[in-house]
A and B are shown apart, each in its own frame.
Chain A
Amino acid sequence: DTGVSQDPRHKITKRGQNVTFRCDPISEHNRLYWYRQTLGQGPEFLTYFQNEAQLEKSRLLSDRFSAERPKGSFSTLEIQRTEQGDSAMYLCASSYPGPGRSRGNTDTQYFGPGTRLTVL
């Protein structure tokens, strides 16, 4: 399978613990995005990397959240001192703004299966 992969698929943790999620984008994609989705809502943008540079961060990304993409390939999202309100699906997406992309100025974002976080 050459799509976006995420690990783990499910994570249950106790309030106050730290958690880290990993995303492996499609191999030739240089853009990587993190989103959060809660039940009954659409995904909300958290942050965006182009190669290893983190270019955008949502105000949703509090100081307990940190994301890295050290070599411009896989990315990690860490949540420190988890709270019950952090329970959500964390989605990663990747894209490549190159030839063959969808018409217009936007490269198509392909989503991974997500990591479902439950904070007890």
Chain B
Amino acid sequence: RKEVEQDPGPFNVPEGATVAFNCTYSNSASQSFFWYRQDCRKEPKLLMSVYSSGNEDGRFTAQLNRASQYISLLIRDSKLSDSATYLCVVYNNAGNMLTFGGGTRLMVKP
């Protein structure tokens, strides 16, 4: 079983739609959580950190459920420019490394 699991998609949604991605992680000692965005043939870029209390950045909302070990990302009012792969990322202090999920591909259509 992978340490961080995501539905690979693709999620095909029309502009303006709301879309949600979930991610599960297996290491209960994981301490920090993130969503990264990766455009085709580009490097991953930090989209937002994920806190237990939940956090929002414009149209993006991230939530963490430690008890169930899952992380979610909600995108409201999807734009064409949101088309990308969204990587769920978990950080463990013990190894000082990021562990990435396989990514969920989003395609927003006009």
Q: Complex: how many Å from CA A114 to CA B40?
A: 12
Distance in angstroms from A9 CB to nearest chain B CB is 10
User: What per-residue 1/0 map shows which CB atoms of A81-108 lie under 8 Å from chain B?
Assistant: 0000000000100000000001111101
Q: How many A-B residue pairs have CB under 8 A?
A: 60
Chain B residues near A48 (CB-CB < 8 A) = 96-97
The 5 closest A-B pairs by CB, nearest first: A42-B100, A111-B43, A45-B97, A106-B32, A106-B91
Chain A residues near B99 (CB-CB < 8 A) = 45
Chain A residues near B93 (CB-CB < 8 A) = 105
B residues near A, CB below 8 A? Answer: 4, 8, 31-32, 42-46, 49, 51, 87, 89, 91, 93, 95-103
The answer to whether B49 touches A102 (Cβ under 8 A) is yes
Task: Tell me, yes or no, whether A72 is within 8 Å of chain B by CB.
Answer: no
A residues near B, CB below 8 A? Answer: 31, 33, 35, 40-45, 48, 55-56, 58, 91, 102-106, 108-114
The answer to whether B87 touches A42 (Cβ under 8 A) is yes
The answer to whether B98 touches A104 (Cβ under 8 A) is no
Q: List 12 A-B contacts (CB under 8 A).
A: A40-B103, A41-B103, A42-B89, A42-B100, A45-B97, A56-B97, A102-B49, A103-B51, A105-B93, A106-B91, A113-B42, A113-B43
Out of B32, B42, B44, B102, name the residue touching A41 (CB < 8 Å).
B102
Q: Complex: how many Å from CA A105 to CA B51?
A: 12
Chain B residues near A42 (CB-CB < 8 A) = 4, 87, 89, 100-103
The answer to whether B49 touches A103 (Cβ under 8 A) is yes
Chain A residues near B91 (CB-CB < 8 A) = 106
The answer to whether B46 touches A40 (Cβ under 8 A) is no
Out of B8, B43, B49, B103, name the residue touching A104 (CB < 8 Å).
B49
Distance in angstroms from A33 CB to nearest chain B CB is 7
Chain B residues near A112 (CB-CB < 8 A) = 43
